[in-house]
Amino acid sequence: MATLLSHLKHHFYFYLTLIIGFMVSIITYLLTKSMNLSSFFTDPLPQSFYLLFLHNLSFFIIFSIPVLGHLYYLYVFIIIFISIGLSFSYKGILYTLLNLYHMPFEILAFSIILKNSTKKLKERPFLLATCLLLLSALLEFYLSGR
Strands of 1-142 (E only): list them.
none
CA distance between the termini of the chain: 44
Note down pLDDT in tens along the chain; length 146 residues: 667 776 676 788 888 888 999 999 999 888 888 777 766 666 677 888 898 899 888 888 888 888 888 888 888 889 889 888 888 888 888 888 888 888 889 888 888 888 877 776 667 788 899 999 999 999 988 887 55
131/138 Cα distance (integer angstroms): 11
Q: Is the pTM of this model over 0.75?
A: yes
Pick from 144, 41, 21: nearest CA to 89: 41
